[in-house]
Structure 1
């Protein structure tokens, strides 16, 4: 049992739990942004294109509601709305990651003077340059 608590303490202290918590918090905030983009930006023009159709209310009724009997229906409109949400969320995440990767690759390019290169990338670039010089000198000596 003591080993379990030691393992948990190491997990929590070494940053894994903190990284996970930060990811969840950012994910929740990003979810709010995406919801606004979907509901307030993307769906209104789509609604105009479809002549004001509200997808959420679209359904195929299998049995009408009557006294004491509930309606049985397939709510395909809600499925369409959720699918549109999914496509917009996937596209938004794709664009955000693409932009982040572009900035990351700029930061990792040691020849790019506009962005400060991280120290580990700079050191690796110097090692690569020195190895190329060494190989050039060795080829000349042959």
Structure 2
């Protein structure tokens, strides 16, 4: 039972919960980026490159015949090297990495501004005992005589 208690303490710690939320949001963000790459960015790039669909760029490693699309090759049972899908995934990664960089950069800037704007806390002055105050007054009054 001690291990269950320890696990519960670990699981409900703030950092673990924040990490879980980040992973969930990251998964959703990855889906959006994948759609952005596949459905928005790659068609115009393929059009600029003479109607090339990156998803259909592949090399048949084992199988007979020539195939116009990757789906046809896979339906025929051909073994393929799908470098077009790899290119799509590299572009997706670069977009996610760039967006993450911009997010972290903006958070760091906000944090720096908050630190600069925060007032500097001055340490409290210690209470000086009355006898020290009296001794200082005596010292100060004796200075003009010297």
Which TM-score band applies after superposition, normalised by the shorter structure? 0.5 to 0.7
Looking at CA atoms only, which structure, 1 or 2, has the larger radius of gyration? 2
Give the drift of 1:99.
2.0
| Structure-1-length-normalised TM-score | 0.63
| Compared CA separation, residues 108 and 45, structure 1 to 2 (3 A) | farther
Match of 2:80 among 73, 78, 98: 73
Root-mean-square deviation (Å): 2.8
Any residues of structure 2 matched to 1:1-142 within 5 Å, and which?
2-65=1-64, 70-110=77-117, 117=118, 122=119, 125-127=120-122
Alignment match, 1:132:
none
Q: Deviations over 1:93-137 (max 9, x none)?
A: 212222222222222222xxxxxx5xxxx4xx3249xxxxxxxxx
The CA distance in 2 between the partners of 1:28 and 1:46, in whole Å, is: 26
The CA distance in 1 between the partners of 2:27 and 2:10, in whole Å, is: 23
| Structure-2-length-normalised TM-score | 0.62
Give the drift of 1:55.
0.9
SS in 2 for 1:109: helix
Maintained 8 Å contact 2:57/2:83: yes
Give the drift of 1:57.
0.8
**5+ residue gaps, structure 2:** 66-75, 124-146
SS in 1 for 2:121: helix
Give the drift of 1:7.
0.6
**5+ residue gaps, structure 1:** 111-116, 129-142
SS in 2 for 1:53: coil
Q: Give runs of ≥4 in structure 1 deviating > 4 Å.
A: none
